[in-house]
């Protein structure tokens, strides 16, 4: 794990969530097409983070390692955690994953544009 890059770590975590939620969905007899739509609702967030980290890598250590984490990384992991909790609860209680996906996508513009903005003008530079 010590050589794991930030982008790679996020992809591994996303794939692990895909497997875990797929197993939970199968166990709870969720509609896997709805689950696929729900996973699609996370794509723009993850893609924007990966693009941002590729365009201007942060000099911080990363959330999976000791030391300070970048704002972008903290934001993406907060979003992924909320997404996973919401999706897990929807599967467990038999709620519509498609409806939840639409609800989650409604936040994309705000968070993705903030992550992209951090690439070009980090908040630390604005505060100076």
The ranges assigned to domains in the chain are 6-127
pLDDT given at position 95: 96
The answer to whether the CB of 32 falls within 8 A of the CB of 22 is yes
Alpha-carbon gap, residue 109 to 115, rounded angstroms: 10
Which residues of the chain are modeled with pLDDT < 70? 1-2, 62-64, 123-128
pLDDT given at position 121: 79
pLDDT given at position 114: 87
pLDDT given at position 74: 86
pLDDT given at position 3: 73
Closest CA to 35 of 95, 111, 108, 123: 95
Q: How far is CA 80 from CA 48, 66, 94, 104, 126, in A?
A: 13, 20, 20, 11, 26
pTM: 0.84
Tokens encoding 113:
């544009």
């Amino acid at each position: 794990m010590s050589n794991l890059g930030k982008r790679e770590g996020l992809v591994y975590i996303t794939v692990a969530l895909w497997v875990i939620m797929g197993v939970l969905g199968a166990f709870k007899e969720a509609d896997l097409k709805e689950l696929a739509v729900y996973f699609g609702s996370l794509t723009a967030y993850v893609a924007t983070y990966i693009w941002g980290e590729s365009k201007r890598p942060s000099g911080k250590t990363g959330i999976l390692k000791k030391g300070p984490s970048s704002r972008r990384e903290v934001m993406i992991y907060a979003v992924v955690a909320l997404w996973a909790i919401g999706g897990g609860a929807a599967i467990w209680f038999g709620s519509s994953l498609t409806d939840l996906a639409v609800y989650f996508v409604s936040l994309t513009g705000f968070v993705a544009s903030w992550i992209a903005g951090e690439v070009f003008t980090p908040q630390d530079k604005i505060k100076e």
